[in-house]
Chain A
Amino acid sequence: MTLWGIAWGYLWNRKFTTFLTILSVALAVALISSVLTLREETRKRFEEEGQAFDLVVGAKGSPLQLVLSSVYFMDNPTGNIPWTVYEQIKNDKEYVQSAYPIALGDNFQGFRIVGTDASLFEHKWISPISGEERHPFKLKEGKIFDKPFEAVLGALVARETGLNIGDTFISSHGFIKLPEMLGGHDHEQHPYTVVGIFDYSNSPFDRAIFTSVNSVWDIHGEHHEEKHEENQDSKEESDIKYEEWGKDPHSMITAVLVQLQSPALRFQYREMIRESTVAMSATPVEEISKLFEQFLGTAKTVLLAVGYLVVIISALSIMIGLYLAIIQRRRDLAIMRALGASRIEIFGSVLIEAFWVTALGILAGYFLGGIISHIVGYYLSQKYGLSITSFILTSEHITSFATVAVVGLLAGIIPAWQAYKRNIARDLMEL
């Protein structure tokens, strides 16, 4: 029978209190662990997807908004740019390896309809995180669109809408499904036909519906002409919507996704875009890094501070629990001393109890944190198509667990010291 076994015996003897103390440590660790996991995993996934393209070129505005809207399909676009910008970039073979137009404007059940060129689906890149080739556009069934109003669905879209090859659907104007009284309307004249479904890629592309740029243009050109005819009184409104797409609807797109000949050209090419076009460009990876460092960095700090506060409260509960336990079992400690246990062994056995509670709390907290990450990760994958790993162990995790372990052991020192200096003769005679 070791000191570890003796300590465990006493913890087991007061199971409920021990369970509550372990639970309080576990909750603190779960909070810390899940914050670290979710931040690290979402950062990795965002950056991995951000590496898909060197630059995004779009209307002037917030670079982060441009990146979020055109690469991650999460925000509203900054506006539109002339088609000529795309042609200019595509033909700049000295700098550009590939360029893909993106035309946004409609949705189906909240999923964005992305007008693009079929060449996008050949796009591949090497993930800097896994080192593997990423190719998110693998057809699960069907084919790529080659006629107007043919659509290829991302895997999540297919799953959630239940659409299959050959089905048709009506798109709605805007990026979310709005009721008519709030300006929402459907493009009933031009139903899309599903011709293909992509396999899961764990990327934002899973939540998009792809069609040709022409299809998007046709819908909006014709639709807004119809609106003019149907409702002369709302001319002002129609004009604004019309301007959204430019005076010639066939000449405007939302953004251009650009793969350069080398990532080293990013800065130089951004300057060239700024100087030679009406558009602006942004580097997805840089914008995402800024997002994580600035806004999400503060959120992380706040959540970690809360986590460590809970750790301190847990440490106090460990200390109080052990202190009361020592008072309750002072006779047991005296008997152990009578049996030959040294003061150091008594000190050690109490400290081991603190260790057990802390270690089990950390272990349980890590798994609880993984479960939390899994649940949040499921939400993220449904909402943004970002799949994350729930159980990871980074150096930040290890550092935080070590900190919790040290705090837990420090909490055990005071009760252990109380046990160390007890008067055994008095404790034996008291009862």
Chain B
Amino acid sequence: MVRVEDCFLKLGPKTKFYCEKFYAPPKSRIALWGPSGCGKSTLLNLISGLLRPDRGKIVVNGIEITSMSESKLDQFRGENIGFIFQTFNLLPPFTALQNVVLGMRFSDTIPSSEWKKNAKNLLNYVGLGNRLNNKPSQLSVGEQQRVAIARAVANKQKLIVADEPTGSLDPKTANSVMDLLLKLCEEQNLTLLLVTHDKGIAERLPQIYDCSNLVNEEVEV
């Protein structure tokens, strides 16, 4: 599903990111774990095409994204990768339903006539069928994360990238969000790459990838 090889990115005058090899097979669920600033989010951003490496190869869903044009990459991202961020996941002016619809708006995967119906089904699935018309400010942080989870799979994406999705939640809510995410991945055979610095959260996933050594000042170009 995801393959990263010999990937190098200069982050600052002396700071460099280097990943020799990372592989995530289809349906795998991997925690990218490490301390703050170790490069785990950078790896996730490279995999999702939000950052471009200076050198190396990244293949997602069988397609090498490093050589893609910007517009193709935008389209690829919309169709293949679902995002969940730590916080402020949702667009404030729009309701929960509209935020999920927005997940389908920028790609051609789902016909526009089905956007609303699909979004309602997904929100029902994450337990927010009664909060369709609530704006993010009217939802708790946990509910906002649930909406983000629904949006991340709105285009039937097979790869979910989650950057500290429980970082802003209390332990109980964090567990329920993790339960939902893992259940969804299990039921829909999704690949999950989840960035966390929390060992407890990382250990809930079948695989942990240690990112401790991705960023340093010693790497030779």
Contacts and interface: CB of A to CB of B under 8 A. Distances in A.
Nearest to A11: B93
B102 interface: yes
B45 interface: yes
Nearest to A2: B105
B87 A336 contact: no
Contacts of A331: 88
A181 interface: no
A1 B154 CA distance: 14
B106 interface: yes
A299 interface: no
SS class, residues of chain A in contact with chain B:
helix
A336 B48 CA distance: 14
Contacts of B71: 342-344
Contacts of B124: none
B79 A336 contact: no
Nearest to B109: A340
Given A9-B94, A338-B50, A429-B41, A343 B70 contact: yes
A338 B105 contact: no
Contacts of A428: 45, 50, 85, 163
B63 interface: no
Contacts of A13: 92-93
Interface in B44-83: 45, 48, 50-51, 70-71, 74-75, 77-79, 83
A398 B90 CA distance: 41
B107 interface: yes
Nearest to B76: A340
B101 A1 contact: yes
Contacts of B90: 335
Nearest to A345: B106
Nearest to A335: B91
A424 B77 contact: no
A6 B103 CA distance: 13
Nearest to B74: A342
A425 B50 contact: yes
Contacts of B70: 342-343
Interface in A336-388: 336-345
B191 interface: no
Interface in B164-221: none
Interface string A394-431: 00000000000000000000000000000011001101
B88 A340 contact: no
Contacts of B145: none
B87 A340 contact: no
A339 B154 CA distance: 10
B41 A339 contact: no
B115 interface: yes
Contacts of B87: 431
A216 B147 CA distance: 89
Given A1-B102, A335-B85, A431-B88, A340 B50 contact: no
A293 interface: no
Contacts of A425: 45, 50-51
B79 A340 contact: yes
A332 interface: yes
A10 B92 CA distance: 9
B95 to A, nearest CB: 10
A337 to B, nearest CB: 7
Interface in A1-35: 1, 6, 9-10, 12-13
B106 A336 contact: yes
Given A10-B93, A425-B50, A429-B41, A336 B102 contact: yes
B88 A341 contact: no
B106 A339 contact: yes
B106 to A, nearest CB: 3
A340 B98 contact: no
A17 to B, nearest CB: 13
Contact of B93 (A9, A335, A342): A9
Contact of B50 (A12, A336, A344, A424): A424
A297 B103 CA distance: 56
Contact of A332 (B78, B79, B92, B101): B92
B89 A339 contact: no
A338 B91 contact: no
Contacts of A431: 87-88
Contacts of B115: 1
A342 to B, nearest CB: 4
Interface of A: 1, 6, 9-10, 12-13, 331-332, 335-345, 424-425, 428-429, 431
Given A9-B91, A338-B83, 15 more contacts: A1-B98, A1-B101, A1-B102, A1-B105, A9-B98, A331-B88, A339-B77, A339-B105, A340-B155, A341-B105, A342-B70, A342-B75, A342-B106, A345-B106, A431-B88
25 contacts: A1-B94, A1-B98, A1-B102, A9-B93, A13-B93, A335-B83, A335-B90, A336-B102, A338-B48, A338-B50, A338-B83, A339-B77, A339-B105, A339-B151, A340-B75, A340-B77, A341-B74, A341-B105, A343-B70, A343-B71, A343-B74, A424-B50, A425-B45, A425-B50, A428-B45
The 4 closest A-B pairs by CB, nearest first: A340-B78, A340-B106, A13-B93, A9-B93
Interface of B: 41, 45, 48, 50-51, 70-71, 74-75, 77-79, 83, 85, 87-94, 98, 101-103, 105-107, 115, 151, 155, 163
